Amino acid sequence: MLARRALPRLQQPSSHCPSHFYRRAYSKTELGNGVNIAYDLHEPPNQGDSRENAPPIIFVHGLFGAKKNNRSISRVLARDLKRPVYALDLRNHGDSSHHPRHDYNALAEDVELFLQQHRLKDATLIGHSMGAKTVMAVALRNRVPIANLIPIDNAPVDAALSSDFPKYTQAMRRIDETTITRQSEADAILKNYEESLPIRQFLLGNLSRQDDGTHKWQIPIKILSSALDNMADFPFTDPDVTRFEGPTLVVRGTKSRYVADEMLPVVGRFFPKFELVDVEAGHWVVSEKPEEFRKAVVEWLQDKE
């Protein structure tokens, strides 16, 4: 295991995504289980610079997130690593379809089927929070071959979610019960539950304007509210039975509690080749410190090539 190290804070580039960067409009894939998964495909800005048959990167968001939250970092990783990056919307999020089942085995199956249907081999799986447990579950289920794994600020343990998440669903339900015609009206309600403007903006990104001029949630609040206990759990409990032997980079925020020091022995038993990088941030590592995160991932993946 790599010793903990705090990355130096670097000045963030003035532009994450050059204007000539190539990105297709989002697409959807109907999986064999009936779920439609929406995704953005980010490719290097100069196709002539991309490596032939370069292994793909799959980027998965957290609870209440979406592919659009990872757009900037996906573009940067595609540019720096000259690899295609698929940013997914998991079921019940973003532009993907809704389904009453929402647990880590179901989410992992969606990712596995996506990889199979797109014939993506030697993939690097990156996931934040809920996405981190999802990609760890994919690795441990061992139903599709993957090259390496980068879980961000979550551990393979049963651990209660922050009390903020039930609070968010309560606020979202209240907004859903109100006729909202402007996003500022929803924000005024949400402000009673969350003081942080960036977090409120993150949550409000799930609002969608309807034909009648009202704003409604694009995500199924009832399904996700009922799934909060599932999101706290992890489907694997015995690392003596199953483990992932491939390279794994655990990125954690030093101000977050989701990957506490006492969890590291369990991480090591499930992922014996894991390395650890600390970023001076809270739970929202990528959005809080994008340059530190980029540097850690790019250096680690280049070292694995």
Residues belonging to the active site? 129, 283
β 36-43/27-30 pair status:
antiparallel
Continuous segment of H or E residues that includes residue 140 = helix 130-141
SS3 56: coil
C-alpha to C-alpha distance for 266 and 157, rounded to whole angstroms = 8
Supply φ then ψ for residue 184, to 5 degrees: -65, -30
* Contact yes or no for 122/55 (Cβ under 8 A): yes
| CB half-sphere exposure, 67, CA atoms < 13 A | 24
* Contact yes or no for 233/108 (Cβ under 8 A): no
112-130 exposure pattern, b = at least 16 Cβ within 10 A, e = fewer: bbbbeeeebeebbbbbbbb
Query: How far separated are the first and last CA of the chain, in Å rounded?
Result: 19
* Contact yes or no for 52/191 (Cβ under 8 A): no
| CA 223 from centre of chain | 19
The two tokens of residue 287 are 């959005």
